[in-house]
Amino acid sequence: MRILLVGAGGVGDAFAKIIARRSFFERVIVSDYDLGRAERTIAAVAAKYGDESAARFTAAQIDAGDPDRVASVAREHGATHVMNAVEPKFVPSVFAGALAAGCNYLDMAMSLSEPHPTDAYTETGVKLGDDQFALAADWETAGRLALVGMGVEPGLSDVFARYAADHLFSEIDELGTRDGANLVVRDESGAEIFAPSFSIWTTIEECLNPPVIFEKDRGWFTTQPFSEPEIFDFPEGIGPVECVNVEHEEVLLMPRWLDAKRVTFKYGLGEEFIGVLQTLHRLGLDSVTPVRVRSESGPVWVAPRDVVAASLPDPATIGPRMTGKTCAGVWVTGTGVDGAPREVYLYHVSDNEWTMREYDAQCVVWQTALNPVIALELLATGAWSGLGVLGPEAFDAKPFLDLMSASEASGGYGEPWGMEDRLVRPASAADPA
Amino acid sequence: MRILLVGAGGVGDAFAKIIARRSFFERVIVSDYDLGRAERTIAAVAAKYGDESAARFTAAQIDAGDPDRVASVAREHGATHVMNAVEPKFVPSVFAGALAAGCNYLDMAMSLSEPHPTDAYTETGVKLGDDQFALAADWETAGRLALVGMGVEPGLSDVFARYAADHLFSEIDELGTRDGANLVVRDESGAEIFAPSFSIWTTIEECLNPPVIFEKDRGWFTTQPFSEPEIFDFPEGIGPVECVNVEHEEVLLMPRWLDAKRVTFKYGLGEEFIGVLQTLHRLGLDSVTPVRVRSESGPVWVAPRDVVAASLPDPATIGPRMTGKTCAGVWVTGTGVDGAPREVYLYHVSDNEWTMREYDAQCVVWQTALNPVIALELLATGAWSGLGVLGPEAFDAKPFLDLMSASEASGGYGEPWGMEDRLVRPASAADPA
């Protein structure tokens, strides 16, 4: 397996640091628009794991927005798989470039949506991933696999959903992805500061898009941003966090392979962060339309959202000043295999202090990058195989979760996952899973 | 009386429209940095009250930041009084220019404060008005009066405080200025929008400065912004509004002439507005330090606070789209003249629909401009007189309140004020005031 990694930003960099510990691949071509960034990632691998390990990596320059350039870099290096680790707006070009070069393909976010032209907050328009699924036949014909949405959320969440459907439930009422964290960033003096662990620009985009929901009787539909707020209690000390509906890939992926009455995604932004986003929206500071502003060199035109992003700490720099954990998982309700009502939360927690120490990577990007590495290993060993455009829930979840949780000493990734039964039931009826 | 009005912004414009109905003055010279703005104000007076009324007004160009220019315009037009209606940062220059020209002087906000260099949130540094009171002897020597803080707050609030001290209380525990409103601004579609009725730039400045409090035993001291939140119930349908400590002139003025154990100012910003200001502060968007921001014409440097101001509707344009009332007043607690505990709220309410209809002026600026007109009339008739630098509470409140509340038909301003007794007391002990 020869992997063309497109993008050496936060997630791409963490991907390289994780896969460097594995032996299933022959080569990773680390490519970036900025060649220096790709080289820095390989230098970090060399520093951490030695030159021999780093010798399996090659740096390359790429333009992710140009499918021809993606294809030519893939061909030049004999890539068998293209791993997309750039912003979602580049999905169509990287996806097309991979197919043109005859490669298999993985990404961690799907092609972007476009709101319904007249009823944006009730009807879907172009949905997340629609542009990719439209080309499924081309991938099948080419005998290649595009495994889409294979990060942590989407990704691991979809694997959990498949596991629940196969092993825990006879009938599913809701597949509810729930993401929450208790991350805190401090300034030099130790005071807590407002510093999102991901791009505020992208977060605004994600949170202000009409959230999408799936219901079996109704199909996909949209709601108002921040709708259906709920307090979800996250495990391992994170505790209760306010979650709201946010547009996310799981809602588009899961119903294609799994049977559930309802599929939702709620993001544990927390009350404070939701308040901040709502205030920015209310004041028009989320706008990407430039406004005229006085400056020392006369009037200039700037987009308020760019000013908000420029005023906050760069998310790439906050890892060392951050503490806490982030949790990704799926809350499943319905009827258990024994016919009794069941409610479980399947989850994986990532601790920033641990990921910084072990991988020199911030926990949110580390947790995202871990899952495509595992998926690639399953594809390399043949444990997973498929053709066309498929989501993670199209594959058997058990080998994935087994490989993830097995210790490094026994060939796994040493990353246990958890399951909480959330209905109090008589001990005699407890599920042995 | 020949009045040089410095500034034809919102308050200056309303001042001209109010004084145009009165006969006590000989001439008003409406001056502005932008001569066209001064001319527009006079044209508005002509349109409303006829050419004869407007003939008592003259337009002039002025630079409020240049004391020599202020003095020369005052001399050129034979001004007897300089009415300062520009931003507080110009107080020192207008104040100095008026004295140099041998004029009397009025303003509606005092010279600015500077925080304590090391203990900004516990100790005062340079206080509001300090730079003006430091020159009191010069004004006395010149035989001229500087009546400072003579708008609505400070201004009418100080008049109410003096009235309470003279007529309602034998001992005052607290003189608490409380300002609140239920103003709502709607967009073209009728939807409520976030649109402050005053400059967000100035409001941020005012609200993030350390609030100042006076206590008889302790003198003046400062606290954290937004400290001591309280829900104050405003009259005439406005209802309960969350108020917080804000730095304001009353706290510096009242203790100089009136005996009270505590003097405070709380601004009824309301929970939403306080939340907005706190969020802007938390995100650094209140900052006046330019940040580097991408733009279509390359990177530019802009102050986030300027971007916030540019993103919101111009307060000068929202009057016609605004409904509701604003209330200014003083909440006084202590011992009544009968020796029993007493608690009263003395107030004046201004209704935006009425001020727009009657004066084509938004209620907040109209209410501010009303009071210096009344004060000038009292000075013109000799009902008020004084030398040096004096606050409104240095003068007898009764003639002011009588002139304000008397009907226009009987020579007054037709603006009643109100008083609420807030302690439930036996009917037999009710105060006849």
Domain-wise residue ranges, chain B: 2-151+365-409, 156-353
Residue B425: pLDDT over 60: no
pLDDT of residue A271: 82
pLDDT for res B424: 62
Q: Does the CB of A295 have a partner CB in chain B at under 8 Å?
A: yes
Is A290–B295 a contact, with Cβ atoms under 8 angstroms apart? yes
Choose the closest CB to A310 out of B292, B296, B310. B292
Rounded Cα distance between B242 and B271, Å, is 6
Paired sense of beta strands B300-302 and A27-32, if any: unpaired
Contact criterion met (CB < 8 Å) for A310 and B291: yes
- So what's the pLDDT on residue A424? 62
Give dist(CA B207, CA B274) in Å, integer: 9
Neighbours of A327 (CB within 10 A): 24
In tens, the pLDDT along B364-411 reads 999 999 999 999 999 999 999 999 999 999 999 999 999 999 999 999
CB B357: neighbour CB atoms within 10 A? 9
**Is a pLDDT exceeding 50 seen at residue A430?**
no
Give the A:B interface size as CB pairs under 8 Å: 88
User: How much is the pLDDT for A433?
Assistant: 46
Closest to A311 (Cβ–Cβ): which among B291, B294, B301?
Answer: B291
Question: Residue A428 pLDDT > 70, yes or no?
Answer: no
Q: pLDDT of B258-270, one tens digit each?
A: 999 999 999 998 8
- Identity of the residue in A279, A293, A296 whose CB atom sits nearest the CB atom of B307: A293
Calpha distance A168→A401 (Å, rounded): 14
End-to-end CA distance of chain A: 34
Interface confidence: ipTM more than 0.85: no
- Distance from B313 to chain A by nearest Cα, in Å? 10
Say if B278 is an interface residue toward chain A (CB within 8 Å): no
Strand order in the sheet with A322-323: A192-193, A184-186, A322-323
Give the separation between CA B65 and CA A97, rounded to whole angstroms. Answer: 63
Compute the radius of gyration of chain A from its Cα atoms.
21
Selected for mutation to probe chain A from B280, B311, B314 (highest A CB count within 10 Å) is B311
- Pairwise CA distance, residues A27 & A20, whole Å: 10
Question: Is the Cβ–Cβ distance between B417 and B405 less than 8 Å?
Answer: yes
Assign a CATH topology to domain B2-151+365-409.
Rossmann fold (3.40.50)
- What is the identity of the amino acid at A282? R
- B196: pLDDT strictly greater than 80: yes
CATH of domain B156-353: 3.30.360.10
Candidates B127, B112, B287; CA nearest to B201 is B287
**What DSSP assignment string belongs to A170-233?**
EEEEEEEEEEEE--EEE-TTS-EE---SS-HHHHHHHHHSPPEEEETTTEEEE--TT-S-EEEE
Mean of the pLDDT values across residues B102-128? 96
3-state SS assignment for residue A425: coil
Q: Find tokens 């061909």 and name the residue.
A: A75
Q: Which of B89, B126, B119, B125 lies closest to B107, judged by CA?
A: B89
C-beta of residue B145 within 8 angstroms of C-beta of residue B390: yes
Q: Is A311 on the interface with B (CB under 8 A)?
A: yes
pLDDT at residue number A75: 98
User: Cβ–Cβ of B311/A296 closer than 8 Å?
Assistant: no
- Over range A223-244, report the average pLDDT: 95
| pLDDT mean over A72-93 | 96
The yes-or-no verdict on residue B431 having pLDDT over 80 is no
Rounded Cα gap, residues B149 and B249, in angstroms? 7
pLDDT of A426 above 80: no
Confidence at A399, pLDDT banded by 50, 70, 90: very high
What average pLDDT does this structure show over A129-144?
98
Looking up tokens 């628009």 gives: A33
At B224, the amino acid letter reads Q
In Å, how far is B184's CA from the nearest CA of chain A?
14
Q: Which secondary structure element, helix H or strand E, spans residue A243, and what is its range? A: strand A239-245
Kindly report, residue by residue over B59-90, the tens digit of the pLDDT.
999 999 999 999 999 999 999 999 999 988 89
Q: What is the DSSP letter of A317?
A: G
Q: What digits encode the pLDDT tens for the residues A185-227? A: 998 888 888 888 777 887 888 888 899 999 999 999 999 999 9
* pLDDT of residue B428 exceeding 80: no
Calculate what percentage of chain B has a pLDDT beyond 90.
Answer: 85
Helix (H, G, I), strand (E, B) or coil at B291: strand
Range A320-342 average pLDDT: 96
Helix-, strand-, coil-residue percentages of chain A, each rounded to 5: 40, 25, 35
Query: Which residues from A are below 8 Å from B304, CB to CB?
Result: 307, 311
Cβ partners under 8 Å of residue B399, min gap 6: B378, B383, B384
How is residue A129 annotated by DSSP?
Answer: T
The mean of the pLDDT values for chain B is 94
Best CA proximity match to A236, nearest among A158, A163, A175, A180: A180
Q: Which of A100-114, A295-309, B195-209 has the lowest mean pLDDT?
A: B195-209
Beta strands in B182-324 (DSSP E): 184-186, 192-193, 212-215, 219-222, 230-234, 239-245, 262-267, 291-293, 300-302, 322-323
Q: Dihedral sign for Cα A353, A359, A362, A365, please.
A: negative
Chain position carrying tokens 């290993």: A377
Residue A3 above 60 pLDDT?
Answer: yes
How far is residue B415's CA from residue A68's CA, in Å, rounded to a whole number?
Answer: 76
Mutate to test the interface with A, among B184, B204, B287, B307 (most CBs of A within 10 A): B307
Residue A117's pLDDT is what? 95
Which CATH fold would you assign to the domain A2-152+367-409? Rossmann fold (3.40.50)
User: What mean pLDDT is predicted for residues A146-150?
Assistant: 98
Residues A345-368: pLDDT tens digits? 999 999 999 999 999 999 999 999
pLDDT at B51 over 70: yes
As a whole number of angstroms, the distance between CA B148 and CA B109 comes to: 7
Burial class (CB in 10 A: 0-12, 13-18, 19+), B158: buried
Q: Inform me whether the C-beta atom of residue A423 falls under 8 Å from chain B C-beta atoms.
A: no
